[in-house]
Chain A
Amino acid sequence: MSAMLEIEFRLNGVVQRTAVAADMSALEMLRDVLGLTGTKYGCGEGECGACTITVDGRTVNSCLMFAVDCNGREVQTIEGLSATPLGERLNHSLVAHGAVQCGFCTPGFMMQAQQVLAEHPHASREEIQRGLEGNLCRCTGYRKIIDAVEAVAHPTASAE
């Protein structure tokens, strides 16, 4: 059993203080210690993007980050994003475009889509595709996810 370390950080806008094992991943902390299960385990090696969170405003694979490294940082998960206006817009757009099937990858796509839009508020289709390259989806074939993010990036162009 590895040593427990006390850390303090801001999670979805709220200060959290918690004790974590030194070898625990941020993903395990979020899911198993803090009970936020919207962030998913898909591969544990940073290849699928299902565990995407933001740390100090940048997306990371939480499976590859040690929980202790959250100390003093600003962390956002899907639960936090969903409570923001952008999160609601992305949610509505993914739903309306049929971009959700089994849904297991969707929280990770939501987080990464936020990052793409932060970097490119009016992202082109190609920029969206490149931006989502690190997230795997087995159900949708990606097109409807790309459409949904594109509709948020270009709200007037896609209005029906």
Chain B
Amino acid sequence: MATTTLERTNTDSLIGRRIPKLDAPDKASGRTRYLHDINIPGQLHAKILRSSQVHARIVSIDVEAARRVPGVHAVITAADVPWQRPIGVTKDHLPLKSDIVRSRRDEIAAVAADTVEAADEALRLIRVTYEPLPVVATSAEALAPGAPLLHGEDLRAPGRGGALEVVHPASKDNVAMVHEYRQGDVAQGERDSAVVVEDVFWLHYVTHCCMGVSGVIAEFDPSGNLLLYSNTQVPFLHKREFAELLGIDPGRIRIIQPPIGGGFGSKLDIYPFEPIAIFLAKLTRRPVKLVFSREEEFIASPTRQPVLLKLRSGCDSAGRLTFRSVETLHDNGAYTSWGATTPFVMMQTISSLYRVPHCHYRTRAVYTNNPYAGSFRGYGNLQATFAVEAHMDKLADALGMDPLEFRLQNAQDPGETTPQGMHFRSCGFKDCLRTAAERSDYRAKRRANLAHWNDGNPIKRGIGIASMLHVGGGAKMYPSDGCGTIIKLDDFAKVTLITGASEIGQGSETVLAQLTCEELGLPIDAVTVVNNDTAITPWDVGVHASRTTFIGGNSAIGAARKAKRKILEAAAPTAGLAADELDLHGGSIVVKATGERVQDLGKFLRSLHFAEKADLVMTTYYYEPPSVHLDRQYRGDVSAAYSWATQVAEVEVDTETGVVRLLKITAAHDVGRVLNRLGIEGQIEGGIVMGQGYALTEDLLVEGGVIKNPNFRDYKLITAPEVPDVDVSFIETFDGEGPQGAKGVGEAPAICIAAAVANAIYNATGTRIYALPFTPEKVYRALRGKSTAPTWPESAA
């Protein structure tokens, strides 16, 4: 590659190099033991009986025949666990349902048996009779007058004291959650506008499709302490939640995370299968393993939040944005998980990606009988960006302005604090815009494509641009957004890095090792990372919000610097120099000014250890980012840094078949600084292709509450032949708070692909499509004026 020489000019530093993932050789050779590969002696296998109805009253459950199956240790229903407590973001969800089922995924009974086969046989013998209830299939139906209420009665369960209490009050209007934000005066913005556009967008159901299906192993010791092997992305939060669920001290719960076969946000919440496995382990006093089938994974793991979004935007005649007004209906599904809180991210894009003086944003998350939505890479930002970037093109068009110029004119600059309170200490947005546009030849291609609209050739080319803003320095949603690190050096200058930060395949283990070795002047293979056991690792809020490199990285650097200071202070007397005149480099203590070697580090550590005043080098550090919580008006600088990106999509549209091919993505990402070039390229390429699936092929078909395509044959992930050419530029803004200047990047690359593709299809054909995904059928119909654009329901007026 052309950049190789450049990268190697500074061979002393590990920063910016291509460092292979430390866990990759084991993974590629099949040696890595995922949760699915772990079997505990004496373990039972659990299976869950789910509702066959979308919405129904349970009249009776007969488990007698199931209990008689040889090898079956337990068959449980809600009646067997009267002490069960609710889970979920608003505690509206009991793991085992006793009276009402509200979706096809609902858990009614569970079996623990010696073998999976015996458990399956027992499931088949459980008889449930239902009394059907009317189905609420859309958020519009849920808001209609007289709509059936999904949570119309108080949910009672044992509270903290153990007595029965209302844990979730009745909802009398099917509205699970409301989020509303205002800045300025939208009416004034409207008066200041020369152009106003309004559209309704539909952002569809997709799901994570982690290659490793969900699973858990639960085991109690004789004292009642719980050990969980879990794929969770938030071990310390879940430790506490499971303790509340069981009414025990959190100190009695230990969570081990075996290597995880993909996360992408799907493992941020507790789902019923986890408490159910715990119940079975508690009742049988045996380790219980529960692993999903792929069909179950489609049906019973979360979706991305589907959103109906109405956007009204304006600008003045000079091309300055005047206002934005947004109303959304979030289809919450039957229970409330993190999907309902995606407005926290969506309103940031609405208010602060571009400078907008007046904003109004309102979301109602509405109960339906559909699958329930969780968090998914990007967390609402794909949905918000899709709408905002469509309007950026439409407003520019209405003014006859170049879309790139229009964006540059309204783009944020470094140093700005937005009305929502986000402070952009580093901001490479305009560089992202210019770089992506120049490298893709956006302006010239866009104009050239327009000239082909009516040339008779059925194959059209299009180019589209879209940008994104996302938290890049954590997101303070919990009381602490921090991460702890423990570092120990052994007698041979080998480092054990014990971090709270979870590895889910994204490469945090490697980048944290790299940052540690950079401080200690050691090669990358001098470090062992321990990162998956709450009994060992210090607290971390979890792997989400693109935060791990930033937060875990600063924490690792903090612990490494303390270790370094201790070493240099101890070495100073013998060296006859002050500690700050010394440095660590190449496995040795050296003179900082000259690089002259003073002593081998391992030898020095042994001399420290085996001296009369024996000592070891062991340090700890807790990093808490300098961010704040959102206030009640949704204002506040929630992240210590913000990441930016522009992506340009080039497509080919076959107007005779409706097939859209994604040819190329030219991306420019403000990542603060590149730490591990190999890792960051992997995150970006993977995110782009996930965005491509969201834009073009992935569609979880939910009809009347039933998922019609719970398999990889009918739910189409992108495959190897379909991937676009990719040109990625890194805009290095060296964030002052970031570890070595870096900012978070994990979610960013998936966020604006669909928006850029939509703009590219418009550039190719003159047709704008307001609903995702851009399947051949949808595009074919739209090109012939036969598609119905999404509309705002009367019931939501």
Residues of A within 8 A of B (CB): 1, 31, 36-45, 47-48, 50, 77-79, 82, 87, 90-91, 94-98, 100-107, 110, 126, 128-130, 132-146, 160
Contacts and interface: CB of A to CB of B under 8 A. Distances in A.
Contacts of B31: 38, 82
Given A47-B712, A101-B686, A133 B211 contact: no
Contact of A103 (B28, B209, B263, B687): B28
Given A37-B33, A44-B293, A101-B506, A139 B28 contact: no
B21 A132 contact: no
Contacts of A40: 34, 36, 211-212, 261
Given A41-B213, A44-B293, A95-B21, A102 B720 contact: no
B505 A101 contact: yes
A32 B454 CA distance: 61
B293 to A, nearest CB: 6
A106 B212 CA distance: 11
B670 to A, nearest CB: 20
A102 B294 contact: no
Nearest to A160: B4
A45 B713 CA distance: 9
A78 B25 CA distance: 12
A145 B685 CA distance: 11
A98 B28 contact: no
Contacts of A50: 211
A135 B720 contact: yes
B721 interface: yes
Given A50-B211, A130-B721, A138-B264, A43 B685 contact: no
B160 interface: no
Given A129-B721, A138-B264, A160-B1, A98 B682 contact: yes
Interface string B238-265: 0000000000000000000001111110
A129 B724 CA distance: 12
14 contacts: A36-B30, A42-B211, A100-B23, A104-B210, A104-B211, A105-B211, A110-B29, A133-B720, A136-B712, A138-B690, A139-B682, A141-B690, A142-B723, A143-B685
Nearest to A1: B117
Given A40-B36, A47-B711, A100-B24, A138 B210 contact: yes
Q: Which of A44, A78, A79, A101 has the most CB of B within 10 A?
A: A101
B708 interface: no
Interface of B: 1, 4, 18, 20-21, 23-34, 36-37, 117, 208-213, 259-264, 293-294, 504-507, 678-679, 681-682, 685-690, 711-713, 717-721, 723, 726
Contacts of B210: 102, 104, 138
Contacts of B719: 132-136, 142
The 6 A-B residue pairs whose C-beta atoms are closest, nearest first, are A38-B30, A103-B27, A102-B505, A141-B689, A104-B261, A78-B30
Contact of B685 (A47, A105, A141, A160): A141
Contacts of B712: 43, 45, 47-48, 136
A43 B117 contact: no
Contacts of A37: 30, 33, 36-37
Contacts of A141: 682, 685-690, 718, 723, 726
